[in-house]
Structure 1
Amino acid sequence: MTSNKDCGHHHHHKRFRPLYAGILTFLLIVLTGSLSVWAILRPSKPKFILQDATVYAFNVSYPNYITSNFQVTVSSRNPDDRVGIYYDRLDIYATYRDQQITLQTSTPTSYQGHKEITVWSPFICGNSVPVSPYNSAALSQDQGAGLVMLMIKIDGRVRFKVGTFISAKYNLHVRCPAYIQFGSRTNGIMVGDNVVKYQLATSCHVSL
């Protein structure tokens, strides 16, 4: 036997079904529209350039330690005229022969509008960082030859903005080769005691 109370409760839910269906349909339309806009616009990857590197310290000590201190200038250009970029996190560091030789330095969060350029100039350094004997020997040889190739790496998280739609977070990986000629001052500018600034203007590889 069904009570009048149960019948009223059932009628209450039945009356609100069209409202629930309408809300669900609206959300589905908004989601489909946002995904369609995203698929049509398909944002371009930002373009990174390693503009320069200022070397304050870079040496190998016994037995297999590297001490380094750099200031690097990195610029990013948003090539898209319809999509903005949120840089939620960027960690910048240096490697030598795939081995990390500095600590990571984080940049402040920022937003990059359409066709805009953003520039960062962080310091990255490492004090007596242990490296493999092979890399230590290779670095000594490279310094003797006057040319050391480092890799400035940037790992981060970005989001894209299309109108009012903001995407999920994407992993960003940037790799910038830096060729430092320690044996010659002609390619560097002395900016202090044993401090040399190298103009590089090197294009970086960007992956998402």
Structure 2
Amino acid sequence: MSIPMANHQRIHPAVGVEAPPTTPLVSRGSSLSEKGTPARPHAPIQMRTVPIPVSHANPPKNGTGCCKCICWTISLLVLLLVIVGATAVILYFVFQPKLPTYSIDNLNISRLGLNIDMSLYAEFDVKITSYNPNKKIGIYYERGSQLSVWYTNTKLCDGSLPKFYQGHQNKTVLHVPLTGQTQYGSTLMTALQQQQQTGQIPLDLKVDAPVSIKLGKLKLKKVRVLADCLLVVDSLSANNAVSIKASNCRYRMKL
């Protein structure tokens, strides 16, 4: 059953009033074209960071300069060694250096016995010939030389060579007095007496001589000439003639 509505309650359509145009919703990322149709969405733009070069007024230091310095130093050292080596080779072939030699001509025993404190006292006199075999080299014997006599690694006595100059191919005869005192002499004296019964007593005569070499008019740096002479004598009795049965010497130079 319908309820009649009054005329003033009826709804009439408005005349002359137009509804606003409906605008289609455009999603984000899209736009309208000139005709009103939505355009295709554009791809997202990727941003790239471009490094900006920075110029330094003073560039940072690196190890290049240090490496160059080390290389130059090594090169100079190598060059110096080459020059020294070449000079040494030239001098060797020009002067042909040889070590001096020594021979033990005579050995006299002035005293060999025990003291009150049971130490062994020895007094020797050695006649030694020094020979310079070089034709162009002179030898200066400097102070501080030593000549010593040993028995089984025990030094019996020692002395020093005189200071002198030895010319080319010169032989010089030296008389060197040797004296010494050794503790525990009773044990050493007993061993010497037992060895003397065999008629062969081994002795070791050592020479340590600081010398300067003269090349022409040039005097070089001091070096040391070392000699080690192994002797065999028949007796060590005081005031008796001592016979040297064997002698073997070795030589070397120490800078």
On whether the aligned pair clears a TM of 0.5, the verdict is yes
The separation in 2 between residues aligned to 1:201 and 1:111, in whole angstroms, is: 29
The separation in 2 between residues aligned to 1:152 and 1:204, in whole angstroms, is: 9
User: Structure 1 residues 53, 166: closer, same or farther in 2, change over 3 A?
Assistant: same
Match of 1:177 in 2: 230
The separation in 1 between residues aligned to 2:246 and 2:172, in whole angstroms, is: 15
- Alignment partner of 1:94 out of 149, 152, 165: 149
CA-to-aligned-CA distance 1:178-202 (integer Å, 9 cap, x gap): 3221299xxxxxxxx8332435683
- Alignment partner of 2:212 out of 155, 159, 162: 159
Mark the runs of 5 or more structure 1 residues left unpaired by the alignment: 1-27, 185-192
Give the C-alpha shift of residue 145 in structure 1.
2.4
Question: Is the CA contact (8 Å cut-off) linking 1:71 and 1:123 kept in structure 2?
Answer: yes
Map of 1:1-208 to 2, 5 A cutoff?
35=88, 37-40=90-93, 41-59=95-113, 65-89=119-143, 90-102=145-157, 104-127=158-181, 129-131=182-184, 135=188, 137-182=190-235, 194-198=239-243, 202-208=247-253
The residue identity in structure 1 corresponding to 2:97 is: P
User: Structure 1 residues 180, 63: closer, same or farther in 2, change over 3 A?
Assistant: farther
The residue identity in structure 1 corresponding to 2:250 is: H
The separation in 2 between residues aligned to 1:74 and 1:204, in whole angstroms, is: 12
Give the C-alpha shift of residue 131 in structure 1.
4.5
Give the C-alpha shift of residue 176 in structure 1.
1.8
The separation in 2 between residues aligned to 1:91 and 1:171, in whole angstroms, is: 11
CA-to-aligned-CA distance 1:23-50 (integer Å, 9 cap, x gap): xxxxx9xx97975653332410011111
User: Structure 1 residues 201, 48: closer, same or farther in 2, change over 3 A?
Assistant: farther
The separation in 1 between residues aligned to 2:113 and 2:139, in whole angstroms, is: 38
Which has more helix, going by share of residues? 1
* Matched residue SS, 1:39: helix
* Matched residue SS, 2:136: coil
User: Structure 1 residues 167, 200: closer, same or farther in 2, change over 3 A?
Assistant: farther
The separation in 2 between residues aligned to 1:48 and 1:138, in whole angstroms, is: 29
The residue identity in structure 2 corresponding to 1:160 is: I
* Matched residue SS, 1:161: strand
User: Structure 1 residues 134, 58: closer, same or farther in 2, change over 3 A?
Assistant: closer
The separation in 1 between residues aligned to 2:201 and 2:120, in whole angstroms, is: 13
User: Structure 1 residues 94, 113: closer, same or farther in 2, change over 3 A?
Assistant: same
The separation in 2 between residues aligned to 1:109 and 1:141, in whole angstroms, is: 39
Give the C-alpha shift of residue 203 in structure 1.
4.5
Q: How many residues align?
A: 169
Higher relative contact order (CA 8 A, sep 6+): 1
* Matched residue SS, 2:243: strand
The separation in 1 between residues aligned to 2:246 and 2:169, in whole angstroms, is: 19
The separation in 1 between residues aligned to 2:170 and 2:199, in whole angstroms, is: 37
Give the C-alpha shift of residue 77 in structure 1.
0.9
The separation in 2 between residues aligned to 1:173 and 1:64, in whole angstroms, is: 33
The separation in 1 between residues aligned to 2:151 and 2:88, in whole angstroms, is: 41
The separation in 1 between residues aligned to 2:218 and 2:90, in whole angstroms, is: 9
The separation in 1 between residues aligned to 2:124 and 2:133, in whole angstroms, is: 28
Which has more strand, going by share of residues? 1
